[in-house]
Amino acid sequence: MKKQKVSSAVIRRLPRYYRHLNDLHLAGVERISSSALGKSMGLTASQIRQDLSCFGEFGQQGYGYNVESLRGEVSDILGMNRGHTAVILGAGNLGRALLENFHFQRSGVTLAAAFDVSPDIVGRTLSGVPVYHVDQLEPYLKESPASIGVLTVPRGVANAIAARLVAGGVKGIWNFTNIELRLDSTGVIIEDVHFADSLLSLSYMISEEP
């Protein structure tokens, strides 16, 4: 149970906690101290304890954290066990790369379907995911609700497609279109992925090196 409003900085660190804890679990590590976990992540022990305290008390003084137990707790916090289902809008180059290479299931998300307009793709099954024509989006969502829409469509249709997803009951949009979506609904969470922003940040940092 959350004790307080959780800052976006803490939320952004939660997947990192899960990755580190999962690696430790796979390596057979049974317990770890906050200082050891912080050192491996480039954080302080105090930061670790402060972040986790937003959600409850998980460690024991003198023992540290049980790795398997804490991994499960963080997984629950991230909603990995809530049966989220996703659909991809746009099965072109980027959409297809996600279909074929990104392991949605490892994040607790089932990728159920993809939608496109190309006759070369519609009607096919890519990596076990059926591809439907985008005209079938509304009836599909009515019969098979999805909580997440993955948006990889061209910029010119991004807002219109996003609005259709929201009208179909989607609660969150993973937006790869490189534009800021403008939606009337305030209850939908949008996670923007800007590859160029990350590259330009890297460019700045290496340019500042002496």
Decide: 54 and 10 in contact? Cβ < 8 Å: yes
Is 93 part of any known ligand binding site?
yes
Q: How would you classify the pairing of strands 84-89 and 31-32?
A: unpaired
Is 95 part of any known ligand binding site?
yes
DSSP 186: S
Within 27-136, residue ranges assigned H as helices are 34-41, 45-53, 67-77, 93-101
What residues have CB less than 8 Å from 101, skipping those under 6 apart?
Answer: none
Q: Rounded CA gap, 85 and 108, in Å? A: 9
Max intra-chain CA distance, the chain: 62
Write down the residue that tokens 């707790």 correspond to.
73
Is 28 part of any known ligand binding site?
no
Is 181 part of any known ligand binding site?
no
Is 91 part of any known ligand binding site?
yes
Is 112 part of any known ligand binding site?
no
Binding-site annotation: residue ranges: 90-95
Binding-site annotation: residue ranges for NAD(+): 90-95
